[in-house]
């Protein structure tokens, strides 16, 4: 095992795959000369050259479309958005072309493309730079959606995403690029669609993913001091979602809290809640609680932002609520 920053794990995954397959290239704003807006492609221009590490104009619709077209004709592009907020400019290419071309061509075309970049809030970046679109993309058939929470998962999942023959939305966080963690040395991958039991417990299940899962970790440590045993499941992949892992845990703990940084209406937590009550209703000893952001655009004010964003105190309250300890 080697300790890497999240950005280094991303860089390693892309570089290793590009060494093994010349059809893979990286394209996006500032990915080449500047080594990436978050330094996640550091050194790649020097190694692979400007034909495979390609700087673009500020034109997400344009370079997303180039990526989709080249994927249809034999390449395996990695398209980096500076944030997924800006992917809204190119979302027509993602939803109407990348996600649908395999079906609409009767299987004649695959679209092995990865769209990657940071998602959700990252401090005081205000409403248009603080949005989480995981549930939007997961709602569209034909797309896979991956949201790692640590360097090991980032590397293993990104390698699998690059090798996948379907379009993959790979969502990171500006606030995680400096996070450090142990990553296996040598060749390894993590399959898409398999959740991770991040912490084992017996009293309540918390399901989460991405950087917000750190708040679940903090809550679990605090609750352990009160002899409350929390099991934390990191989904890692939102689509396909590992329903089996969630159901197995709920059948053990009989209580469920879902933590997601997203607006509350029609999100991933809503889907999980419906699935659990449909398939494990008799195992539940309390109503499911989901924790999301406030139902407003993200505020710029640090005081309001702290109220808007879920935190470990919200998780502690939710756990105690399902345990009838409030």
| Residue 107 sits in the same domain as residue 250 | no
In a domain, 56, yes or no: yes
Q: Quote the tokens at residue 79.
A: 């398209």
- Counting as low any pLDDT under 50, the low residues of the chain are none
In the residue annotation, 129 being an active-site residue is answered as yes
3-state secondary structure of 14: helix
Residue pointed to by tokens 């699935």: 275
Candidate list 102, 129, 134, 261, residue with the active-site label: 129
What is the reported pLDDT for 326?
83
Select from 140, 162, 183 the last residue of a domain: 183
In this predicted structure, what is the pLDDT of residue 70? 98
Instruction: Quote the Cα angle for 155-58-299, to 5°.
Output: 75
Please report the pLDDT score of residue 120 as a whole number.
97
> Rounded to 5 degrees, what angle do the CA atoms 10, 12, 13 make?
65
Tally of domains within the chain: 2
Rounded alpha-carbon distances, angstroms, from residue 267 to 11, 186, 248, 271: 30, 37, 22, 7
pLDDT of 256 reads 98
Same domain, 304 and 171: no
279 and 165 fall within a common domain? no
> Which pLDDT score, from 0 to 100, does residue 232 have?
98
The whole-number pLDDT of residue 173 equals 97
Residue 158 lies inside a defined structural domain of this protein: yes
Model confidence pTM above 0.75: yes
State phi, psi for 316 to the nearest 5 degrees. -60, -45
pLDDT in tens, 11-53: 999 999 999 999 999 999 999 999 999 999 999 999 999 999 9
Q: Which domain holds residue 241?
A: 196-323
Report the SS3 class of residue 243: helix
312 is catalytic: no
In which region does residue 230 sit, left (phi positive, over 0), alpha (psi from -120 to 50) or beta (all else)? beta
- 173 contacts: CB under 8 Å, gap ≥ 6: 118, 119, 120, 122, 210, 211
Q: Is residue 134 part of a domain?
A: yes
- The alpha carbons of the chain give a radius of gyration, in whole angstroms, of 20
Please report the pLDDT score of residue 146 as a whole number.
98
CATH number at residue 289: 3.40.50.920
Between CA 156 and CA 139 the distance in angstroms is: 24
Same domain, 172 and 245: no
Q: What share of the chain is helix, strand, coil (3-state, %, to 5)?
A: 40, 20, 45
Length of the chain: 326
Is residue 307 domain-resident? Answer: yes
From the list 27, 5, 12, 2, the residue with the least C-alpha distance to 155 is 12
Residue of 8, 17, 29, 60 marked active site: 60
Kindly report the CATH number assigned to the domain that includes residue 29.
Answer: 3.40.50.970
Kindly report the backbone phi and psi dihedral angles of residue 243, in degrees, each rounded to the nearest multiple of 5, phi listed first: -60, -35
Retrieve residue 101's tokens: 């071309």
């Amino acid at each position: 095992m080697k300790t890497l920053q999240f950005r280094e794990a991303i860089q390693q995954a892309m570089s290793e795959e590009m060494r093994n397959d010349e059809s893979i290239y990286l394209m996006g704003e500032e990915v080449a000369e500047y080594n990436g807006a978050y330094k996640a492609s550091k050194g790649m221009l020097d190694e692979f050259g400007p034909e495979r590490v390609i700087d673009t104009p500020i034109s997400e619709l344009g370079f997303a479309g180039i990526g989709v077209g080249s994927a249809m004709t034999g390449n395996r592009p990695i398209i980096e958005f500076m944030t997924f907020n800006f992917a809204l400019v190119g979302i027509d290419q993602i939803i109407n072309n990348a996600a649908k071309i395999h079906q609409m061509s009767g299987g004649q075309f695959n679209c092995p493309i990865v769209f990657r970049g940071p998602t959700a809030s990252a401090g005081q970046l205000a409403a248009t730079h603080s949005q989480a679109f995981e549930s939007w993309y997961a709602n569209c058939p034909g797309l896979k959606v991956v949201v790692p929470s640590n360097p090991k998962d980032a590397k293993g999942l990104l390698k699998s995403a690059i090798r996948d023959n379907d379009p993959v939305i790979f969502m990171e966080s500006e606030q995680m690029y400096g996070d450090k963690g142990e990553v296996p040395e040598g060749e390894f991958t993590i399959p898409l669609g398999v959740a991770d039991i991040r912490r084992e417990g017996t009293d309540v299940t918390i399901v989460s993913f991405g950087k917000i899962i750190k708040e679940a970790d903090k809550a679990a440590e605090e609750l352990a001091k009160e002899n409350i045993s929390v099991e934390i499941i990191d989904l890692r992949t939102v689509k396909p979602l590992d329903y089996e892992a969630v159901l197995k845990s709920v059948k053990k703990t009989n209580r469920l809290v879902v933590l997601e940084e997203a607006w509350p209406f029609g999100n991933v937590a809503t889907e999980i809640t419906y699935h659990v009550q449909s398939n494990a209703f008799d195992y539940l000893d309390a109503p499911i609680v989901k924790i999301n952001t406030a139902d407003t655009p993200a505020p710029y004010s640090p005081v309001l932002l702290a109220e808007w964003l879920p935190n470990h105190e919200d998780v502690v309250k939710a756990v105690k609520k399902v345990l009838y300890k409030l």
